[in-house]
């Protein structure tokens, strides 16, 4: 066994990546405070070739040194936009026909283990590190999912959570006929 060299990985150039529409999946970050978490989400979004990221409220935006540390160039490949208001961003996505899924622990959340994502246009909304999703956004969600957890903590780091959920959603597009 040996590790593959970068040239053996067959990665796309940024130009080719941007020509590819990616999977019809948008990530919305609702007041995420940590620029390093934002950078990690960019890197994960690149890995799964999602359509775009929408950064809302106080969420830091590129160019930002801390985002760049963890994004490792993904801010150049992943399409993104900024919206000062989460409600405006989500209402626009609904109008454009996206299925809006919040990632939050609510009284109506579905367990990710049993949730079946479909191939339609979807937007995943992730909240901030302390408060989660803004209460004002809950009525606009089509559904909500949570990741089952079995330890003493009741939440995951936003970038870890995004990685898990994006993997599950990407499987529908990459591995199912």
Domains of the chain: which residue ranges? 21-145+154-174
Q: Three-state SS for 108?
A: coil
HSE toward the beta carbon, residue 166, CA cutoff 13 A: 29
The average confidence (pLDDT) of the chain is 94
Q: Does 140 score more than 90 pLDDT? A: yes
In the prediction, which pLDDT does 99 show? 96
The CATH class, in words, for 21-145+154-174 is: alpha beta
Q: Residue 50: beta bridge partners?
A: 23
Structure tokens that stand for 158 in this block: 């936003």
Put simply, whether the predicted model's pTM sits higher than 0.85 gets the answer yes
């Amino acid at each position: 066994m040996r590790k593959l060299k970068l040239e053996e990985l067959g990665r796309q150039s940024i130009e080719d990546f941007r020509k590819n529409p990616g999977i019809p999946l948008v990530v919305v970050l609702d007041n995420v405070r940590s620029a390093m978490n934002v950078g990690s989400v960019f890197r994960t979004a690149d890995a799964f070739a999602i359509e775009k990221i929408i950064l809302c409220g106080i969420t830091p935006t590129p160019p930002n040194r801390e985002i760049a540390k963890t994004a490792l160039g993904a801010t150049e490949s992943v399409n993104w936009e900024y919206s000062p208001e989460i409600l405006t961003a989500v209402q626009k996505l609904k109008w454009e026909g996206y299925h809006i899924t919040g990632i939050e622990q609510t009284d109506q959340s579905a367990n990710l283990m049993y949730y079946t994502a479909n191939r339609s246009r979807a937007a995943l909304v992730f909240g901030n590190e302390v408060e989660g999703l803004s209460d004002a956004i809950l009525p606009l969600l089509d559904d909500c999912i949570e990741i089952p957890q079995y330890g003493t903590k009741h939440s995951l780091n936003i970038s870890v959570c995004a990685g898990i959920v994006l993997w599950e959603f990407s499987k529908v597009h990459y591995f199912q006929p």
